[in-house]
Copies of this chain bind each other. A is one copy, B any other.
């Protein structure tokens, strides 16, 4: 059952912040009254968890090749729904990194309070650590990832057992010292707590994405793992909520799990064991986003919704872009929100719940259309899932609107529009490149229809320019050498040396005080002197120095790049880049 722990970190790590954030919604308003209501809201979350589990088990059954929300929504509800799910998931991945790392570091700074002022810096260091690890291919070592998950589960189980035992043994928790408004608990407050608690369910979708990774019979294994995972979340999330109630912990300055562990175990080994394993599982959770995000981008890039550079599955380069992007945006969020979990949580959950909704609604639609065996109960299960998650999305969007959810609500439509514009651009390009049967038949490649003329820009007569002139001669009978000089004196020098070459290739010299090349060259091409005939191609040969060390590259070629880019804006100019290898 290695499949469980590897997939589990994202899902089970949420226990570290979901319950705590529920408390933090209620405590400042209601004070000690909050503890009693905590179990009520936790109960609602657990019901939602069970509905989602049943619903997702059906997705697994019918998408044995992996049923990510993007695929399920696109298959059953159409492209727009699929892209919406994709956009929502992109945001979910970014926030998974930001929230998990911030929460992980919060555990550490709660146990080692001297580190508190360095919270943001430690978080950024963790992002860099994951970034570099993933750029270098940490994923291959993923078998090892099972251990921390077990270590964390054991830690929390021991915390629960000893925690309950201590209370049974007569321990009385100190009265909480809460500054609160002492107001009664309102429905809106409960709903806000519920919204925070919904983060407990983030990550359960991972199992349905990963069905093909399970050993055969993979569908059966995946369904079992999902069920097990739900039970674990139920026990750990429910258990820690009850403990928080019993021990009257007041999170805020320090993390809830660390505070409970402190009361249960004192400052002994188990206290640090709980802290460290919680930290590690949260970093692992962030790491799952590092493998999931580039995969999602690759799938969407294949269909043209995101830049094609991200499409080459398995290719280092494309993975790197996704990893760098994820790290940059997550770091930005961490800095912006000062690594404060409570602030970040306002943006979280909504993304993944939108994808839950679309995925369940897609399954419902599927049953209504196909009407296969037993379709009615199946439709009811997925329908219930869709309904419950829709409700959750509305509640989260409404109650967390001012706490950051508005950013996501604004961002998702923007992302969708961008994705469709990218798609449209690729479509347009495809159409422009497409050749009709007629053009294909008429395509007369073998007869020369135009002349190729060559221009060799040079600043002095040296090995590089001689090589370029030779190459020019090889590809065209019509070659011109072109030199930009600052003054007549230097021009005369070049001309003299050029004459010694004894070639009939004409040398054109133009003057520019700043030795700019592009403008005089384009002017010359357009001038009557050059006698350019429409339709002809002009090949400009640019030498490029290939040097051995990276810092030497900074000393060259920039001008060449600039010239190349400027020249290529003209459709009749081909730039031939000629490498010249140099020592030192």
| A445: interface (CB < 8 Å) | yes
Complex CA–CA separation, A545 to B556 (angstroms): 25
Complex CA–CA separation, A452 to B467 (angstroms): 13
Q: With a CB–CB cut-off of 8 A, which chain B residues contact A473?
A: 445-446, 448
The smallest beta-carbon distance between A462 and chain B, in angstroms, is: 4
| A441: interface (CB < 8 Å) | yes
| A555: interface (CB < 8 Å) | yes
Q: Given contacts A434-B462, A582-B429, is CB(A575)–CB(B577) below 8 Å?
A: yes
Q: Given contacts A440-B497, A452-B474, A546-B568, is CB(A307)–CB(B515) below 8 Å?
A: no
The smallest beta-carbon distance between A240 and chain B, in angstroms, is: 38
| A403: interface (CB < 8 Å) | no
Asked if B505 contacts A445 (CB within 8 A), the reply is yes
Q: With a CB–CB cut-off of 8 A, which chain B residues contact A440?
A: 461, 497, 500-501
The smallest beta-carbon distance between A481 and chain B, in angstroms, is: 10
Asked if A463 contacts B445 (CB within 8 A), the reply is no
Q: With a CB–CB cut-off of 8 A, which chain B residues contact A502?
A: 441, 443
The smallest beta-carbon distance between A501 and chain B, in angstroms, is: 5
Number of copies: 2
Complex CA–CA separation, A434 to B441 (angstroms): 51
Complex CA–CA separation, A476 to B539 (angstroms): 13
**Whose C-beta in chain B lies nearest to the C-beta of A437?**
B500
Complex CA–CA separation, A308 to B439 (angstroms): 48
Asked if A466 contacts B515 (CB within 8 A), the reply is no
Interface size class of A (residues with CB under 8 A): 35 or more
Q: Mark A543-584, 1 if CB is under 8 A from B, else 0.
A: 011100000101110110010100011110111111111111
Complex CA–CA separation, A503 to B514 (angstroms): 47
Asked if A425 contacts B552 (CB within 8 A), the reply is yes
Asked if B466 contacts A443 (CB within 8 A), the reply is yes
**Whose C-beta in chain B lies nearest to the C-beta of A498?**
B440
Asked if B584 contacts A425 (CB within 8 A), the reply is yes
Asked if B571 contacts A441 (CB within 8 A), the reply is no
A409-450 interface (Cβ within 8 A of B): 422, 424-426, 428-429, 432-435, 437, 439-441, 443, 445-446, 448-450
Complex CA–CA separation, A516 to B434 (angstroms): 23
**Whose C-beta in chain B lies nearest to the C-beta of A516?**
B315
Q: With a CB–CB cut-off of 8 A, which chain B residues contact A576?
A: 539, 574-577
Q: With a CB–CB cut-off of 8 A, which chain B residues contact A584?
A: 424-425, 428
| A117: interface (CB < 8 Å) | no
| A24: interface (CB < 8 Å) | no
Q: Given contacts A443-B501, A544-B568, A546-B568, is CB(A574)–CB(B578) below 8 Å?
A: yes
Interface residues in chain A, defined as those with a beta carbon under 8 Å from any beta carbon in chain B: 307-309, 312-315, 317, 422, 424-426, 428-429, 432-435, 437, 439-441, 443, 445-446, 448-452, 461-464, 466, 469-471, 473-476, 497, 500-505, 513-516, 537, 539, 544-546, 552, 554-556, 558-559, 562, 564, 568-571, 573-584
- A–B Cβ pairs within 8 angstroms, 12 of them: A315-B514, A429-B545, A433-B462, A434-B462, A445-B469, A445-B505, A451-B474, A452-B474, A471-B537, A546-B569, A571-B581, A576-B576
